[in-house]
Structure 1
Amino acid sequence: MSFYHSTRSSADPVTSKQAILAGIAPDGGLYVSDELGGRSLSLDEVCAQDYHDTARLVLGTLLDDYTGDEIARCVEAAYGPQWDTTEICPVSPLGTDWLLELYHGPTCAFKDVALQMLPQLMGVARGADGERIMIVTATSGDTGKAALDGFAGVDGMGVTVFYPAGKVSDIQRLQMVTQLGGNVAVCAVNGTFDDCQGQVKRVFADHELAGRLAGRGVALSSANSINVGRLAPQVTYYFDAYAQLVRREAIRVGDEVTFCVPTGNFGDVLAGYYAKRMGLPVRRLIVASNANDVLTDFLTTGTYDRRRDFHKTISPSMDILVSSNLERLLYFASDGDCELVASLMADLAEKGVYTVPDRVMDEIRSVFSCGRADDEATRATIRDAWRELDALIDPHTAVAKHVLDATPNDGTERVCLSTASPYKFCADVLAALGEVTDGMNGFACMDALEQLTGTVAPPQLSGLRAGEVLHDDVCDPDRVGAFVESACARVFL
């Protein structure tokens, strides 16, 4: 059986169930397994099965202390009628490249792939009589609603979401503040996503708070991509996309494929790296950044420096300066050097910057490429994709497409990951198409975008106009811990 341990220490190994329930390691590191890459999946098997079968195969490999029956029940519950296609994550043509559509779930964002699964995995790991769990998560826009939707009403669990006030789209905010459920809490934070994420990490490191909650039979866990139960389900869509290309006869089994991924917290593209280590023939993983290009700079220079201006962009889910999942890549690229990872993370916390040894950067660059797109380039890409390809894409997808278009084609088939419905960002998409949006609210923009393009907004988004605002709390960053404690008291006591 595979065991997991912190990226910062190989001591105190745990099972995948224990890692998923904990979310983050006690020393602040992220859980990893040294067995990753120890077993390659059969491409012939993957290419002969559907998404559900591949999900069972991937999760059974990464989380092997779950039984086959447990994994099968989780997959059935996570990828059922709440999706608008049985393909779950279909691949479609995008000019000479391909688009991996990750937005067909209940909240219209790629986070659904993992956050419909995570509550199922946690429920099995917790058991019928386990400790009550409060999920605490920070969101730059999409994780929040996906976590709320996934955990709402789940017995023995609650969910608390923090988002940066004024730095998510109108539709993203409404998705969160109208959320129904007696076990949910939502709070805007006066700050950036990094402020939210940093404070949530401090909550998990607050041993006094943990002690008080333990006395009430409550434990904290995370739904951010720092949780391995959030990361593992995302690996599936890389394998499934490959299988779809084989069935379309775009590639043959064994051919390499390149993926371009819009990312801020590095979880989505890291899942592609996991897939590569599990035997998927990946030529390159292209990291696409917006104006908050800390990852582009890191991959170019080998120095990660969060000491920079924060830019509010039209791709808000990528407005991140501290990419937490990069820590897992540093661990694997350094051949499991926990001492090095711990030192780098200490430098980031204390100095705001670290530099990676050349040998580690060489390993990273053997797989990863990078590029960036500012808002002007993003708008132009949205406009060109619609006019030239009849493809309506959201700003995050447009960042990736811009970077992919700027990358010389090396002869491999290339897949652009599309992470959200354009209707989650209808004002910015409408403006990119040349329409005036001054004075228009999100729903007016939604209606205008439908009329202009002849497309239809997903009902789970258009239906928000009838929703009642149920969560109007706002706090300063230093009050995040207090809000979590009060939410636990309200939900569980």
Structure 2
Amino acid sequence: MQYISTRGKVEPRGFIDTVLMGLADDGGLMVPDVIPSVSSATLEEWRNLSFQELFLKIFSYYTNGEIPDGDLKEMVERSYGTFRHPEVTPLKEINDSLYILELFHGPTFAFKDVALQFMGELYSYISRVRGEIIHILGATSGDTGAAAIAGVRGKEGIKICILHPHNKVSKVQELQMTTVDDANVLNLSVQGNFDDCQKVIKELFADLEFKSKYHLRAINSINFVRILAQTVYYFYAVLKLPQAAQGKTVNISVPSGNFGNIFSGYLAKKMGLPIGKLIIATNENNILERFVKTGEYKPGDFKSTHSPSMDIQVASNFERYLYYLTGEDSAAVNGYMSKLAGEGAIKVDGQLLEQVQTDFAALGVKNDECLNIIGKYKSEAGYLLDPHTACGVAAYEAHNGPGEVCITFATAHPAKFDEAISLLKIAQEFPPQIAGLAALPQHMTVVEHDKAEITRQLEEFYI
């Protein structure tokens, strides 16, 4: 297997070179040149595997033998040995049609840990065996930054800079990033929103001279390894359903902002995992819902919500889906992305829109509805949802059909978003790792949304 760009202007690369490239040099996103097929018989053989064993099985289709099996196994064991639950991503039954996959048992209490603990180990491995300098650059709407920093802090041969929107992440998210004082970590708090941060990141990666000079590497879901690592828990969730749910149509509802998590499910389905509907749950920044319902992809007005990790109007991974939607036509993708850059919107219709609506269902959840769902499930099921997971549960209620079951992803621990939980007068017990953050000093630099100033900060840090 080799990896190619959605825009078709990059020579095919191997697995490790794809990891190091991150954003493709032509501005596109890297994808495998063929998606492997997993048979139903193989899936049945995998049913009783641990998360770590399943991870190794799935990655074996994609690494081309570039990483020895023993080295990969050691990385996986180190990555998930820090998780607070032995199953890594346990599946909880809420009622006879709703299951919740808890993805928040990693060190920063968010689903990003699942991929980024492994990516930290992988980058450290590459730095060691290739003698590569690794300078990680990323933007976050809250959870990616903390998880990425946790994955690489203190690691030799690696420096990481994370941009986050100033005062537009939850306080816990901010503290998890900015209370880290390791010398290889730089936090830039940008006056603007997440899309502003992400735009600068993409521009810097598109500057091939700057990217090469400073050995920039991506930690965001523009990096295919993030997508692949997340695909593992889709397989794990479906395979761990109890006997009573097996044989039924299985839908998966995913809180979605940057389209990376839901695209991982799309990849799993194309590999052969039996999934019914892939349900996109978003908030009032609902560009993805509008696209699924109307075919128009057009950023709207930014709104602050109770689910800030989904306060995104430009979804980076949308281009990967567009590539497959157009029948892997890189020329068509180039046309769409040029039009989006020039006119601020694109639209698909006819058979393409029909395919979108076959691939996905979607729901944009209002702030009040999000809070109502949190209160309802705390009262009726005794289960406390964070605001993002609540959006996923609202989407399950809207789109799950009779006789179907749905797995909703719990993408963060509710303690990370007590600003919303406290509005319901719900008192929660904070894990000690979160409760102690407020007493720690913060380390961050507040900067204007200015590419030149951000570039200067990076040059000083990377020297």
TM-score category by the smaller chain? over 0.9
Could you tell me how far apart the structure 2 residues matched to 1:355 and 1:346 are? 13
Question: Is the Cα contact below 8 Å between 1:46 and 1:239 reproduced in 2?
Answer: no
Aligned partner of 1:220 in structure 2 is: 216
Partner letter of residue 358 of structure 1? G
Q: CA RMSD in A?
A: 1.6
Match of 2:419 among 410, 427, 430: 427
Could you tell me how far apart the structure 2 residues matched to 1:303 and 1:36 are? 27
Aligned partner of 2:322 in structure 1 is: 330
Question: Is the Cα contact below 8 Å between 1:292 and 1:311 reproduced in 2?
Answer: yes
Partner letter of residue 85 of structure 2? T
Partner letter of residue 249 of structure 1? Q
Question: Is the Cα contact below 8 Å between 2:166 and 2:446 reproduced in 1?
Answer: no
Q: Deviation per CA, 1:189-232: give whole Å up to 9, x if none.
A: 01010000000001111234235xx2xxx400110011011111
How far is 1:303 from its partner?
Answer: 1.2
How far is 1:129 from its partner?
Answer: 4.3
Deviates more, 1:67-76 or 1:19-28: 67-76
Q: Deviation per CA, 1:410-430: give whole Å up to 9, x if none.
A: 422211111000000012111
Aligned partner of 1:476 in structure 2 is: 449
Q: Secondary structure at the match of 1:250?
A: helix
Could you tell me how far apart the structure 1 residues matched to 2:35 and 2:354 are? 20
Q: Which 5+ residue runs of structure 2 have no aligned equivalent?
A: none
Aligned partner of 1:446 in structure 2 is: none
Aligned partner of 1:363 in structure 2 is: 355
Match of 1:251 among 233, 239, 245: 245
Aligned partner of 2:136 in structure 1 is: 135
Aligned partner of 1:461 in structure 2 is: 434
Could you tell me how far apart the structure 2 residues matched to 1:54 and 1:302 are? 36
Deviates more, 1:413-422 or 1:325-334: 325-334
Aligned partner of 1:29 in structure 2 is: 28
Call closer, same or farther: CA 1:177–1:303 in 2, change over 3 Å: same
How far is 1:255 from its partner?
Answer: 4.8
Could you tell me how far apart the structure 1 residues matched to 2:47 and 2:304 are? 41
Q: Deviation per CA, 1:103-136: give whole Å up to 9, x if none.
A: 0000000000000011222233344342211110
Partner letter of residue 85 of structure 1? H
Q: Deviation per CA, 1:236-270: give whole Å up to 9, x if none.
A: 1111111210xx22333x65410000101001111
Aligned partner of 2:17 in structure 1 is: 18
Q: Which 5+ residue runs of structure 1 have no aligned equivalent?
A: 436-448, 451-455
Partner letter of residue 423 of structure 1? A
Size of the aligned set, in residue pairs, is 459
Is it true that 1:46 corresponds to 2:46 in the alignment?
A: yes
Aligned partner of 1:87 in structure 2 is: 87
Q: Secondary structure at the match of 1:116?
A: helix
Q: Secondary structure at the match of 1:282?
A: coil
Could you tell me how far apart the structure 2 residues matched to 1:24 and 1:472 are? 26
Is it true that 1:235 corresponds to 2:231 in the alignment?
A: yes
1:50-65 matched pairs, under 5 angstroms: 50-64=50-64, 65=66
Question: Is the Cα contact below 8 Å between 1:293 and 1:372 reproduced in 2?
Answer: yes
Q: Secondary structure at the match of 1:283?
A: coil
Partner letter of residue 284 of structure 2? A
1:139-288 matched pairs, under 5 angstroms: 139-210=140-211, 214=213, 218-245=214-241, 248-252=242-246, 255-288=248-281
How far is 1:54 from its partner?
Answer: 0.4
Sequence identity percentage: 36
How far is 1:483 from its partner?
Answer: 2.0
Could you tell me how far apart the structure 2 residues matched to 1:487 and 1:126 are? 18
Aligned partner of 2:295 in structure 1 is: 302
Aligned partner of 2:119 in structure 1 is: 118
After TM superposition, the score normalised by the length of structure 1 is 0.90
Q: Runs of 4 or more off by more than 6 Å in structure 1?
A: none
Question: Is the Cα contact below 8 Å between 1:191 and 1:477 reproduced in 2?
Answer: no
Partner letter of residue 243 of structure 2? E
How far is 1:7 from its partner?
Answer: 0.5
Question: Is the Cα contact below 8 Å between 1:40 and 1:277 reproduced in 2?
Answer: no
Question: Is the Cα contact below 8 Å between 1:250 and 1:413 reproduced in 2?
Answer: no
Aligned partner of 1:66 in structure 2 is: 67
Partner letter of residue 389 of structure 1? A
Could you tell me how far apart the structure 2 residues matched to 1:250 and 1:181 are? 49
Deviates more, 1:344-353 or 1:100-109: 344-353
Call closer, same or farther: CA 1:357–1:407 in 2, change over 3 Å: closer
Call closer, same or farther: CA 1:395–1:477 in 2, change over 3 Å: farther
Question: Is the Cα contact below 8 Å between 2:250 and 2:404 reproduced in 1?
Answer: yes
Question: Is the Cα contact below 8 Å between 1:196 and 1:477 reproduced in 2?
Answer: no
1:302-451 matched pairs, under 5 angstroms: 302-306=295-299, 308-431=300-423, 433-434=424-425, 449-450=427-428
Q: Secondary structure at the match of 2:12?
A: strand
Could you tell me how far apart the structure 2 residues matched to 1:330 and 1:68 are? 33
Could you tell me how far apart the structure 2 residues matched to 1:128 and 1:43 are? 33
Partner letter of residue 476 of structure 1? H
Call closer, same or farther: CA 1:67–1:410 in 2, change over 3 Å: farther
How far is 1:408 from its partner?
Answer: 4.3
Could you tell me how far apart the structure 2 residues matched to 1:394 and 1:173 are? 17
How far is 1:352 from its partner?
Answer: 1.0
